[in-house]
Structure 1
Amino acid sequence: MRIRHAAGLSAAVISAVVGLPLPAVAAEPAAVLYVKDHGSTCDDSGPGTRAIPFCTIQAAADRVLPGQTVEVAQSSYIEDVTVRHSGEPGKPITFRGAGRLGKSPDIPSISGPLRQPVKISGQHDIVFSGFDVPGFELDGVSRVELSGNWIEQENNAAVRPAVRITGPSDRVRVERSVVRGTSGGVTAGPGVTGTVIAGNDFVTVYGSSVSLTDAPGATITHNTTHTTWNTSVVLDLAGSSDHATITDNVVALGTVQVSAGSTAGTTLDYNTLRWPSADTYKWAGAVYRTPEDLLAATGQGKHDLNGYVQFDDAFWPLSVPKAATGPAAGTAIDSAGPQTPGTPAVDLLGHGAVDHPEVANTGPDSSYRDRGAYEVVGLQEVRLDARGTVHEAPTGPAPFTVELTATATDTWKTTLGYTFDFADGTDPVTSAEPTVRHTYTAPGDYRPKVTVTDGLGGSVTGELSWPVQAGEDKPLTASLAVDQDTSSDPLAVRAKVTTTSPWRISGYSFDFGDGPAKPNEGYFTERHVYAKPGTYTVKSTVTDDSGATVTSTRQVTVDYAPSGFTAITPTRIMDTRQPGSHYPRFGPGSTFDLDIRNRVSGSAGNLVPANATAVVINLTATQGTATSHLDVYPSAAARPATSNVNFGPGQDVANLVTVPVGPNGTVVIRNNSGYVHAVADVLGYFTAGSTDRFASVAPARLLDTRSDDNPLTSGSARRLKVAGAGGVPANATSAVLNVTATGSTSAGFVAAYPGGTQRPAAGSNLNTVPGRNIPNQVVVPLGADGSVELFTNAAATHLVVDVFGYYGPDGKGLFTPVTPSRLLDSRDSGPFGPSSSRTVGGVPAGATAAVVNLTATGTTEPTHLTAWATGTAKPGTSNLNASPGLDVPNHTTIPVDPQGRFDIANNSGTTHVIADLFGYYRNQ
């Protein structure tokens, strides 16, 4: 082996001598790896740089090397973290959370779905600092530091301590952390040695704050235990946990217990016991009430004190003592003992020792550090503000002069000094005044700091929350981008203007081309919802502090997205007959915005999603006082010359309505004349993401109870198989049916719903009237066997059911709603005669079917209308049954030819026909 090694060495030397290339030296690894889960640039397989950070902490933990720091941005990381790599002595692996620990910790949180603790097993030389976590589990570790963490378990959900250390482990340090709502604080078991537990605040711990069993050599110092539950023992040394140090702690309530096997070499001193009890101490099995009793029997606790410590509610949930004077100051202030090895240099909030001006120093040699996790300070915080000397905003062209003002909170009213660090490489400036001026000579973003001192040892540092921005002296420019944003409204856009200016932008204004401009002084983006599809010119106007103004324009085309259908259980969202209804009875010409998204009171979640393009409603007019009609159209749109439900005095008339969704999920319902109550049931909606598409079929009759004189009777339901009949496939999910009630013997209603299911409460589709044929189109989900149930409460009625199409995975048609428009009004061109027909156009070319509301008016004798695609055979079905003297509407889904045309035929007598378009299907 020696010979081989020498030969290899000679070869290396020869290579160097003759000048042959040497292997490249590997680059030093980066000092810092970055984690930031928000933003588009994070990548768990990337380099972990500031520009391309890791998305998860675990990805960084799997890549980190000794001496590197993992810096984690503020966010909520929904993951469980296990540390699998070790550092080296003097070169630890450090996990550092960005932010500040306080009563509302602004630090990154780590919490997987099961809120598992951070796990470190078999590793060494690790620092984990500045995180909000549910706990830590350490097993077989060495030289691990947990500092500045917020350790909390929600509602005591996990039955485990905040930090569990199992052996063999040595030199674990838990310091300056908040432990709250956990099942125990820090626990250590056999094989654990040299644990340091220092400067922690144990708040509302369900169990002992510190519990060590057979874990010798521990240091427990400068901790505060505020509230404990389910235990009387706060600090517990059990088994052989000898040679421990218990000093400078504040124990608000509970017992300090040291077992007989733990007393050897153990020191207990300079602690404050807030509420003494009969068993304040348990030492080697004996119980002592007061420090004097303990001292007399054991020599321990010479400087322990029984005394009141008042906590400051302003810092809740932290256990910070009040900065009071006299007896109210308690016994923890300026009374700590000599610095035990392991004592943190600063308190939990980062304060060093501060001499309370009105409390005597009772520490050794008149020292004035406080007991417990916190140092009571008069100088508590400082805010740093900046303003420009020309304009108020701290933004302008370099060289740029700003005025910095420090506002300190100092309850002791001492003389303060201020040291300003301008963060531009110039020397800091110390001043007795809180305001200074500074000129930034080079362009850049600068975040200055100020450190305030009070002469009593107190100091606090504050940083400017928003940087001073010194820019290049260039003119104002602006660029406008406009994109459709359908996340909450189908015709919404978001305009965003990007600017460059050395000055602050003082004003934004957006003109969306359909109304007055919208001033928006504080923000560079604006959302807008159009009332109808179209092409619009959007203009932005931007002004900066120098008075410069720039305008930009962009054209944007908005339209309803082609959408699939989702059927829902019929849900009533309006019934003006109900006492206390949000929607009152409709009067002459009155309109109401109907919220179709939200469920009725007491139900959770949205009924119709925010991105729905159109909604299907069954609308019923009842108790009308005059001949009138209800019109339905998207809110914010101009009232169209269309109608949906025509009715006369005292009539109950129902009709299906398909209508585009207006801004904020509302549609308008308008009554033309007289007074009327209205009932609205939502049956389904259209969204771009729905997988159920439409397919029209040649209209076919599925049921006619007149054929065997077998009418439905009151309270009865009849099942009708739809899938597999009339061109409807077996995997269809919903069917488009025209249901006509005829030969009814009493007033009542008919409901259609999925076969084999319970009839929904809001299940009325049409109303029966003796002596009249009443039609209505229904869109009904199919039951598991592909059937629908037909129910009536009329004494008896015949039903005629025709199928016009279906929704399902085999369908290809996506629905595009349109602002309601009139395609035909024969009152302008002459009525339909007996057996006459006309061709109607106006549906966009390429459509396969149109959603049309047909209305018959001026009818001279009972008749029916039939509609079908131009150029195809007339089917033996009906779309609308009309009666003399009545205006009869019916929602229809009509196949159209490639040019978007359909034919309408009248059967008997003469009648006028009105056709209103509400949308169309096109195969995708």
Structure 2
Amino acid sequence: MRRSVSFGTVVAALLAGVGATAAPAYAAPADLFVNNAVVCSDAGPGSQAQPFCTLSAGAAAVTAGQTVRVTGSYAEHLTIAKSGTAGSPVTFRPATDGDTSLVQLTGTSAGITVSGQHDVTILGFQIQGAPAGPAVNVVNSTRMTIERVELLPLDSGSAAAWAGVRLASVTDSALNKIRVFRDVNPAITLDAATSGVVVTSAYIAVSNTARHPGGIEVLGPHNTVVRSAMLRPVGTGILVAAEATGTVLASNIISTAGGTGIDNSGASGTAIANNNVANPCGAGIRVSGASSGVSVQNNFVYGYGGNSTTCANGITGVGVGVYDAAVSGTTVDYNTVRPNPGKSPYAWTTPVASLAAFRAASSQGAHDLDSTDVNANVDSGNAAAPGRQLDYYGKSPVDDPEVPNTGSGPVTYADRGARELTMAPSAELTITQKPGGEVTVDASTSRPGWLPITSYTFDFVDGTVVTQATPVAHHTYADRGLHQVEVTVKDDNGDQGIQVKGFVNGDGYVPVSPVRVLDTRAKIGVGTTTPVEPGGTVTLQVAGSNGLPATGVTSVTMNVTVTEPTANGFLTVYPNGQFLPNASNLNWTPGLTAPNLVVVSVVNGKVDFHNTSSGTVHVVADLVGYHSAVGGSVFVPLGPVRVLDTRAKIGVDTTTPIAPGGTLTLPALGGNGVPATGVTSVTMNVTVTDPTANGFLTVYPDGQALPNASNLNWTPGLTAPNLVVVPVVNGKVAFHNTSPGTVHVVADLVGYHTTGAGSVFHDRSPFRVLDTRSGIGADANTPVWPGGWLDLNLMSMAREGATAVILNVTVTEPKASGFLTVTGDFGHEKPNASNLNWRPGQTVPNLVVVPLNPVNGTARFYNTSSGSVHVVADVVGYYGN
């Protein structure tokens, strides 16, 4: 940013000497530590393991280039009698870099003194109490950096205010982020022998009493910069006395109750630029005496309350006033001046009533404004105004694209006042997971403000923080559970947007060729051929058996079949040792053989099967895969889309049913949304229809030996569906008909597992989300009407990042034959697919994978029957990020 020649010379000199906080180009000596909250010793080495007990011990031991890192509170006065060298100062600061806490100095002796030293940095101290002398007293010193020092009187009713920061005969130094509260007077004092001092980002809120009227006093410094000082005094905010030359007052925020905001009393060469001055009763900016070469530009002077009747008697003042000999050498322009009602906006030797009158009297203020709209300050300042710096927050000029540029200088869109109007970028995150704790955080959809995004900071809230110029970061968490990512996007003006997202680690899927793991008829998985007794529970060990690892298995996928039931009932499959959930997986009537795919969480390496019937039942389970916390593939939901129908030449070249003992091979890759590579398994809803004899269907990987497993069982004339997850080998899957009769087969693809990009699995203990009989998720005792549909709101799961939800869906009390289609609501027509088929009076379950639209999170249930039907749905897990 362009500045005046005299100021630029000053800044160049300061940068050459003040860069005291920059790291040295060579290895610095070891740090020293002071910590009185642990076992410590002033006779020790001052190491982190054995720190000093007092600040005075650290100050006595420190040498050039060393940092004294301090923890705790001290009833001490810190006297620094050691110097550093240029670029390698002695530094006193809190123990941890980036820590915003302050080291506390307390009591009547609290304070900091530096005399006759150079190259010293003081960072992060709070001085409490009521010291007799200045809280920070720096004398005859050079290249001092004092940053983040807070002065906090504990006794606001003391008889006299204490002095704040005093600089006497100090050169080439910097004060930054000084915060002063209550009874401190004056807050900052710079004496006549002080020069080349930069005061930035100070916040000063002294008591609003006549006893303590001081803000900042500049008593004759040369080439001094006071920038970004927040003041609330009753008297003068900043006083520049007659001896001062080359002072810059820029980007300060000053609020006065009855005094003068900025009083340039005879000082020459002062640049007063881009200040906000609020003055309800007193003067805003005053230039008087023998001042010459003074510039007053880009300031915003306004009233914030009070008027001529409420201000104290005798208190007058104007917004911007120039008096005495100062009228011959003062420039006033590009200001916005709006004092309170009853006060004069300007004075040129004498007060005038309007901007027009000021222009007529002074030939000044050609670009001044008297608008009440603060937006008039936007893009209308003079970027070449003497002394102009970064704004109060350290921001450069930014162009508001919706405001005409009416300013001047090297850019025509600099704002007036202490604050530059900017539009911050916003962070938008997409988080994808891989099994094993690896996440990819993508912030590329983040929106820039008025400036491009220049950096992305990813905080994974486990101690890992990464800042980079690109919007995508990868990280692997060491543990499972709830995690959080915080991403900050920032532009080169320091504006930033932050977004935080939480998520839970998900699992990968490992498909296996179907293997029988339970058969109560044949002592597989159990020690007897006894059926499951009424109200009985069978526990099956799954982890560490049948090829599954002993650890990392979070859930298993099994095709479960009940057979030879002696009474009506249903089966619930659930995590071992948990409370029996209000959920079901299979329903039956006496003599029925019924299959259903089950996804169930594994606890203690086991799962439980509970028979709710009043009769016995045999249970068979064929393992087809498992979810793992340490590996596996991810899921991509699709459709549903019909990929096979032997009745209609879909997926085959004929309408011939599968022959007795016959096998049909179906290509599974490279079409219907499934990629040609990387696919480990496909998930399909498979339906058999028009069977001519009893039998069962086995769906298995192409080219493998026919396993001892089944997916669907039927009797002649039955239409039966079941969800199938089958590994893909040679790019194909096979359908084998074990029946002595023919059968037609229909398959609707609902997704696939892949080693590429997709969603991880999150298991859930089964819980009911829909029951039209009882009013869960729908109106009570209101079935889905013929030809109608029901929408189930699963938005809470969509907000969790669910891309697809796994439901065990049961239809009951149907009045006529029909089928149910379950899909996500994406605004499309009902797909040519089915999930459950029934006859009048049947109760039929099936596992369903439903893609979720993230906008509405709706699962839609279509009833194609000519009669009504009740629907029940239990969530068993979801895929998502």
TM-score (norm 2): 0.40
Choose between structure 1 and 2 for higher RCO, CA contacts under 8 A separated by at least 6 residues: 2
